[in-house]
Copies of this chain bind each other. A is one copy, B any other.
Amino acid sequence: MSIHRVRVPELAARLVLGPQEVRHLQVMRLRPGDRVQAFDGQGGEAPAEIAELEEGRAVLTLDLTAGPDAGAADLGRETPQPVTLAIALLKGDKLADVVRAATELGVARVQLLVTAHADAREIGAQKLVRLRRVAEEAARQSRRRVVPEVLGPLPLARLTWEGRLVVAHPGAEARLPDLLDWAAPLTVLSGPEGGFSDTEIAGLLARGAVPVTLGPRILRAETAPLAMLGAVVATGV
């Protein structure tokens, strides 16, 4: 159907790929001679051909003559200003689900957070690698050139942001879709299952965070961030 997309470490005329990418090519049932689209996760991409493919090793030849505009249609998939999802550590596989959907919904960055009621205080190196892989795979599936960064956990008090930060808060009246002006970057902040503590909320508001409504029901910690990001994309960005 559509052309397959292959993540590459950089754009070069000839690239040798490692076992991870080779497995991806094999799963996609690609063969030597097949055309793919190479992308570097930083916005660069180029048409490519699979020159060699064997167990654990593949060679791609890239056509770099197409110039920087070759993937202009895909650049149009990015939001007018970068959106960051800042999210508390969650238990089990929930973060992977959130990272996957958030990538489809256009975030440029996921900043993990440790908060007072967070379900976990830290994240293993392996798990962080896995989240980055989930973001990469989701970017490929949603045809984004930019793979969101997934940044290891910071204490909430050390979170900084440019532009506007919105946080869902019970009783808030501001409506997220009304707040989007794209004059500056946007950060969407989402808490753990137990929510933010009163002290945390007070601290955020004192630093200029804007509380927004998600209606009167109780949302799970993995649903709230997607509702907020859904409200963002439903405005057409």
Chain A residues near B (Cβ < 8 Å): 76-77, 79, 101, 104-106, 141-144, 173, 175-177, 212-220, 223, 226-237
In the assembled complex, the CB of A92 is this many whole angstroms from the nearest CB of chain B, namely: 14
- Pairwise interchain contact B220-A236, C-beta atoms closer than 8 A: no
Among the listed B77, B220, B231, which residue makes an inter-chain contact with A230, where contact means beta carbons less than 8 Å apart? B231
Instruction: Chain B residues near A143: list those with CB within 8 A.
Output: 217-218
Whose C-beta in chain B lies nearest to the C-beta of A222?
Answer: B101
Shortest C-beta distance, A16 to chain B (Å), equals 30
- Write out the residue numbers on chain B whose beta carbons fall within 8 Å of the beta carbon of A142: 217-219
- A216-B176 in contact given A104-B223, A230-B228 (Cβ < 8 Å): no
Q: How many copies does the complex hold?
A: 2
Give every chain B residue within 8 A of A213 (Cβ-Cβ): 233-236
A215-B228 contact given A104-B220, A105-B223, CB 8 Å threshold = no
Q: In angstroms, how far is the closest chain B Cβ from the Cβ of A9?
A: 24
Identify the 10 closest CB pairs spanning chains A and B, nearest first: A230-B230, A227-B230, A231-B234, A215-B233, A177-B177, A213-B236, A176-B234, A142-B218, A142-B217, A231-B231
Residue of B nearest to A235 (CB): B175
Chain B residues with Cβ under 8 A from A214's Cβ?
Answer: 230, 233-234
Q: How far is the CA of A212 from the CA of B233 in the complex (A)?
A: 11
Min CB gap A124→B, angstroms = 25
| Chain A to chain B contacts (Cβ below 8 Å), 30 pairs | A76-B216, A77-B216, A77-B217, A101-B220, A101-B223, A104-B217, A104-B219, A105-B227, A106-B215, A141-B220, A142-B219, A143-B217, A143-B218, A144-B217, A173-B236, A175-B234, A177-B177, A177-B231, A177-B234, A177-B235, A213-B233, A214-B230, A214-B234, A215-B232, A226-B226, A226-B227, A227-B230, A228-B234, A229-B230, A230-B234
